Amino acid sequence: MSAEQLAELSDLFVVAAVLLYVVAMVGFAIELAFGRSRPGRAATARRVEIKQPVAVGAAAGGDTVAVSDEVSAGPADASPEEPAVAGETPPGAPERAGQDDRTMRVAVRTGTVALGLAWLGMIANLTAIATRGLAVERWPWGNMYEFVVAICFAAVAAFLGTQIRTNVRFLGAFVMLAAALGLGLAVKVFYTAAGPVVPALDSYWIAIHVSAAIISSGLLTLAGVSGVLYLVRGDGMSRLPSRAELEKVAHRAIVFAFPLWTFAVIAGALWADRAWGRYWGWDPKEVWSFITWVAYAAYLHAKVTAGWRGRAATIVQLVAFGCLLFNLIGVNIFIDGLHSYADVD
Amino acid sequence: MSVQELEREQAPKKASFGAVAWLRWVWRTLTSMKTALILLFLLALGSVPGSLVPQRSVEPDKVARIYEQSPALAEWYDRFQLFEVFSSTWFAAVYLLLFTSLIGCIIPRTATYVRELRRKPPAAPRHPSRLPHSATFESELTTEEVAGRLRKLRFRVVTGDGWVSAEKGYLRETGNLFFHIALLGILLAIGAGSLFGYRGNVLVVEGDGFANTVAAYDRFMPGSQVSAESLEPFSFQLSEFKVAYQVTGDKRGQALDYSAHLKVNDTPGAPARDFELKVNEPLEVNGTQTYLIGNGYAPVFRVTDGKGQVAFDGAVPCLIEQKTTMTSGCVVKVPDAQPSQLGFLLQFLPTSVPLTDGDHASAFPGELNPEVKVLGAFSGDLGMNSGKPQSVYELAEPEVMKKLKPLVMGTSVPKPLAVGQSLDLPGGVGKLEFTGVKEWITLQTNYDPGRWPALVFAATAVVAIALSLMIRRRRVFVRIAQGKAEVGGLTRTEGSAAGFAEEFTEIVQVLSAGEKDVR
Ligand code: HEM
């Protein structure tokens, strides 16, 4: 296949990914809208492993009494993709008729289909990146368009990867929305025809530095989405999982992403040392990477500071996420510096 | 730590505020987590203007433009040191406070940590099954056998009468400490680099050489501890400079590769070696790096004056006016011309093509059809002896320009000169010949002794923060009585309980392996 054909193929796969993400988003949204409501605070109880050969009792929070029959507390017929969460049905909630049960089952099935579509979308997204790379014969994240396409992939991959081990399907609709909007933005605003990059970008460091930045940005997007949901969701009943769970998802994503981001910034400094003759020069992009890093460090400190956990920490996290987004998009468009590789006119 | 801090915050506040008590209060406040948090915020916030206001060290030309366009604003910026945020007093105040706070954190934590390292896990509680994670199974194992299996899982283990307690994950604290210490290290390395290092910029034309001395630089920025003798005594000659351009497609004219061929003498007496200087591939001589950071054209001119003598012969580095076509503006000053000095304003077109209106423009950045447009030729006193600093890219100050006599200007501009062509000036005052094209490169030379230490600390920071965030501290307790083993576990790290559940199950499996009667 010629380079032009590969480049065209890549563009088609981006469009396919957008469509798949949009349909998946609708599916996830239906599941969310007709699925089960959950209480705000009570659901701190941990997941109970049923298939273990030994009894593993899980007591909530500081409770000292192990409630051993919690093992069977979850609905016994829970579908495999929906792990039993102890205490899901609030005490005293009126039992609904069988009709609602059926709606709920359909909703869950819709969600499962959406999950499959999300996987397909991710594969299309990945294929778009790979074919682009083959077309231009270099690492395919040399300009803003390619970079945004890759971050959307990373965010979806972070979501689906987390989903393998922990049920975070409630995030689906929002991650799909973010990814579809991101790809749309890439195609409509940032599109750059396949081609070579300037010599400064022609380095193996792009593989190291930019990949780390992309992966951590993907994870941090996941955390950001959870953070927004945390604020949107009150403490009452909601179709969204409890605030504690949302916070946990966000925290875990950040805990993974922070060292990676640290590494990305340092790899960037190493590259700058090769290309520009200094490892740190307070170029706008460097300034905002630093701000983002400090803001996430502030989040980690807020998590262990009395009076800052929960809502305040989430707000810090979202401010940090705002800094990240501004760094990825705003700095390239509004401020020019050495890093102005965006190729956006 | 957070527990200690809570205790600290809840400690009864003394009413009497003697000097010692006051100092202690200052120190405690400064080293509290809340203060660290606020200082982190301030650090982030303080960096913002550094990206919005042009910085003197990064974009001096933009700073100068603000001074020209809105002097009042520039003055305000200057008052708050906004043109040099990252070396400003207030920014330094924030990070020095933060690092003081950090030291105040590190010292007591290190002491606690060393104690912790030697401490044994606490005795098992009476009922391990009441812990957040627990299991009970029948077991014939002795406490020693249980302890052995846990040691194999790399737990630190103590045993007692019918109980075993085990702990793991000490690297978390290690990571946290090393991370914070590494941050201090990075700051010190940067500081050392700016004291003992230097940076210099120089422009070199093809065929010319450069020797690493303070005088050879166009701009030299030394740290306060750098002496002129401490510069690494290397030199080199630029034999050739080449640029490869994309010739087809949307990106036509984009540079693909820059390559400067150097003959380098590492020390004055050493034999010359060949070196291919490229972007991303600096020249390194004994810890001093030289980078290729810019390039342009330097057409060669010969000027013969009114008396028939060659008054100027050489390459003239031109300022790039348009990057995509490398259209460049050149100034030729001939102070030695007789009977009066001569000056030329020229435009260099690397790939000249005629336009429909008879004018010419460059269509490609590469040197395919180099031509020089003569925009103006002047005679008269160029004012070069005024003692004022002269720019090589400006013919003369505006008031001096007014007094010059235009020889060629406006509509009388002739057709562009190709290589080998010349322009005879009216009135027989001289002749301008365009004899060839060379290229110039700009180089940056860097010496930064803090570079390697900074890298080592940075690498430490990454590894340490990964350890600190990924590893959880966890304890497992076992009590054995009447053929039954009661196992309980807990993790001391917030937010990681879910992951521990799986590990706990595995631990229980290991402990109960070989037992048939698993409940
Ligand atoms: C220079 C700025 C600083 C940065 C970038 C920074 C960064 C970090 C990061 C990323 C963590 C997360 C590790 C974890 O959660 O275990 C952390 C933890 C911690 N930091 Fe800092 N830190 C800084 C300054 C400080 C200062 C000044 C203090 C002292 C008040 C401090 C005290 C702590 C403590 C006590 C923890 C442990 C939290 C825990 O137990 O989980 N840090 N720091």
Q: State the pLDDT confidence band at A61, using cuts at 50, 70 and 90.
A: very low
The enclosing H or E element of A153 equals helix A144-165
Q: Do residues B100 and B131 share a domain? A: no
Domain end (from B78, B111, B144): B111
Q: State the pLDDT confidence band at B2, using cuts at 50, 70 and 90.
A: very low
pTM for the predicted model, two decimal places: 0.81
**Helical H runs in B375-496?**
398-403, 451-470
What counts of helices (H) and strands (E) characterise chain A? 10, 1
**Helical H runs in B303-411?**
398-403
Is residue B474 predicted with pLDDT exceeding 70? yes
3-state secondary structure of B268: coil
What average pLDDT does the structure give for chain B? 86
Q: CB of B500 within 8 Å of any CB in chain A?
A: no
The enclosing H or E element of B133 equals strand B133-138
Q: Does A283 sit within 8 Å of B40, measured CB to CB?
A: no
Highest averaged pLDDT of the listed ranges A176-190, B405-419, B478-492: A176-190
Q: What is the spatial distance between Cα B219 and Cα B188, in angstroms, rounded to a whole number? A: 26
With beta carbons less than 8 A apart as the criterion, state whether B490 and B125 touch.
no
Please indicate, yes or no, if residue B105 is contained in any of the structural domains. yes
Please indicate, yes or no, if residue A268 is contained in any of the structural domains. yes
Instruction: Tell me the residue type at A192.
Output: T
Please indicate, yes or no, if residue A194 is contained in any of the structural domains. yes
Q: What is the pLDDT of residue A40?
A: 55
Indicate which CATH number applies to the domain containing B502: 3.30.310.50
In the 3-class helix/strand/coil scheme, how is B333-346 assigned residue by residue? EECCCCCCCEEEEE
> Higher-confidence residue: B404 or B494?
B404
Q: What is the pLDDT of residue B137?
A: 86
The token duo for B340 is: 């009066």
B162: left (phi over 0), alpha (psi -120 to 50) or beta: left
Please indicate, yes or no, if residue B518 is contained in any of the structural domains. no
Average of per-residue pLDDT across A11-25: 94
Please indicate, yes or no, if residue A218 is contained in any of the structural domains. yes
Q: Do residues B205 and B330 share a domain? A: yes
- Where do the DSSP E strands lie in B246-341? 255-265, 273-278, 283-285, 288-305, 310-315, 319-322, 327-334
Q: Does B136 sit within 8 Å of A295, measured CB to CB?
A: no
Please indicate, yes or no, if residue A342 is contained in any of the structural domains. no
B102 lines ligand 1 (CB under 6 A): yes
Q: What is the spatial distance between Cα B314 and Cα B299, in angstroms, rounded to a whole number? A: 8
State which residue of chain B sits closest to A248, comparing Cα positions: B495
Is residue B226 predicted with pLDDT exceeding 50? yes
Q: Do residues B344 and B379 share a domain? A: yes
Q: Do residues B357 and B321 share a domain? A: yes
Cβ neighbours of A305 in B, within 8 Å: 2, 5, 33-34, 37
> Higher-confidence residue: B28 or A336?
B28
Residue closest to A250 by CA, chosen among A344, A329, A317, A183: A317
| In chain B, residues 185-224 whose CB comes closer than 8 Å to chain A | 190, 199
B36 lines ligand 1 (CB under 6 A): yes
Please indicate, yes or no, if residue B10 is contained in any of the structural domains. no
Please indicate, yes or no, if residue B2 is contained in any of the structural domains. no
Out of A262, A275, A331, closest to residue B280 by CB: A275
State which residue of chain B sits closest to A64, comparing Cα positions: B130
Question: Which of B9, B171, B180 best tests ligand 1's pocket when mutated (most atoms within 8 Å of CB)?
Answer: B180
Q: How far is the CA of B102 from the centre of ligand 1 (A)?
A: 8
Please indicate, yes or no, if residue A325 is contained in any of the structural domains. yes
Residue closest to A289 by CA, chosen among A247, A251, A261: A261
Domain that holds residue B478: 120-169+472-511
| In chain A, residues 238-267 whose CB comes closer than 8 Å to chain B | 247-248, 251-252, 255-256, 258-259, 262-263, 266
Domain end (from B68, B94, B111): B111
For B333-384, the pLDDT digits (tens) are: 998 888 888 999 999 999 999 888 888 899 999 999 999 999 888 888 887 7
Average of per-residue pLDDT across B432-460: 93
| In chain A, residues 143-162 whose CB comes closer than 8 Å to chain B | none
3-state secondary structure of B387: coil
Q: Is the peptide bond before A284 cis (omega within 30 degrees of 0)?
A: no
Is residue B497 predicted with pLDDT exceeding 80? no
Instruction: Look at chain A and report how many structural domains it folds into.
Output: 1
Q: What is the pLDDT of residue A70?
A: 32
Is residue A193 predicted with pLDDT exceeding 90? no
- Residues paired with residue A202 on neighbouring β-strands, in sequence order: none
> Higher-confidence residue: A117 or B293?
A117
Q: What is the pLDDT of residue B241?
A: 94
Cβ burial of A68 (10 Å; 0-12, 13-18, 19+) is: middle
Q: State the pLDDT confidence band at A289, using cuts at 50, 70 and 90.
A: very high
Out of B291, B455, B508, closest to residue A54 by CB: B508
Q: What is the pLDDT of residue B331?
A: 92
Q: Do residues B389 and B434 share a domain? A: yes
Cβ neighbours of A303 in B, within 8 Å: 494-495
Q: Do residues B78 and B105 share a domain? A: yes
Q: How far is the CA of B156 from the centre of ligand 1 (A)?
A: 26
State which residue of chain B sits closest to A257, comparing Cα positions: B466
- C-alpha triplet A261, A263, A268: angle, nearest 5°: 95
Q: Do residues B225 and B326 share a domain? A: yes
Q: State the pLDDT confidence band at A65, using cuts at 50, 70 and 90.
A: very low
Domain end (from B63, B86, B111): B111
Average of per-residue pLDDT across A91-113: 71
Q: What is the pLDDT of residue A55?
A: 34
Q: Do residues B149 and B248 share a domain? A: no
Q: Do residues B164 and B29 share a domain? A: no
Q: What is the spatial distance between Cα A303 and Cα A310, in angstroms, rounded to a whole number? A: 8
Please indicate, yes or no, if residue A170 is contained in any of the structural domains. yes
B469 lines ligand 1 (CB under 6 A): yes
Out of B58, B129, B250, closest to residue A66 by CB: B129
The enclosing H or E element of B481 equals strand B474-481
The token duo for B320 is: 């790039």
Ligand 1 atom nearest the C-alpha of B183 is: 1
The token duo for A307 is: 């009076």
Out of B258, B293, B469, closest to residue A258 by CB: B469
Average of per-residue pLDDT across A47-62: 33
Over pLDDT 70: what percentage of chain B? Answer: 92
**Helical H runs in B169-213?**
171-196
Sheet of strand B163-168: strand arrangement: A57-58, B133-138, B484-491, B474-481, B163-168, B156-160
Q: What is the spatial distance between Cα B191 and Cα A250, in angstroms, rounded to a whole number? A: 36
Please indicate, yes or no, if residue B180 is contained in any of the structural domains. no
Kindly report the protein residue whose alpha carbon is nearest to atom 10 of ligand 1.
A297
Q: How far is the CA of A196 from the centre of ligand 1 (A)?
A: 42
Domain that holds residue A315: 139-334
Q: Do residues B73 and B133 share a domain? A: no
Q: Do residues B127 and B260 share a domain? A: no
Sole residue written with tokens 């020249």: B283
Please indicate, yes or no, if residue B139 is contained in any of the structural domains. yes
Is residue B312 predicted with pLDDT exceeding 50? yes
Please indicate, yes or no, if residue A164 is contained in any of the structural domains. yes
Instruction: Tell me the residue type at B440.
Output: W
Instruction: Look at chain B and report how many structural domains it folds into.
Output: 3
- Residues paired with residue A147 on neighbouring β-strands, in sequence order: none
Bridge pairing between strands B422-424 and B417-418: unpaired
Kindly report the protein residue whose alpha carbon is nearest to atom 38 of ligand 1.
A304
With beta carbons less than 8 A apart as the criterion, state whether B292 and B236 touch.
no
For A124-163, the pLDDT digits (tens) are: 999 999 999 998 888 888 888 898 999 999 999 999 998 9
Please indicate, yes or no, if residue B124 is contained in any of the structural domains. yes
Q: Please report how the helices A172-188 and A144-165 are oriented relative to each other, as an axis angle in degrees rounded to 10.
A: 170
Residue closest to B55 by CA, chosen among A253, A78, A283: A283
A33-42, A279-288, B451-460 — which is least confidently predicted?
Answer: A33-42
Bridge pairing between strands B219-222 and B198-205: antiparallel
For B376-401, the pLDDT digits (tens) are: 888 888 877 766 667 777 787 777 88
ipTM entry = 0.81
Q: Do residues B91 and B155 share a domain? A: no
Please indicate, yes or no, if residue A118 is contained in any of the structural domains. no
Q: Please report how the helices B89-118 and B171-196 are oriented relative to each other, as an axis angle in degrees rounded to 10.
A: 150
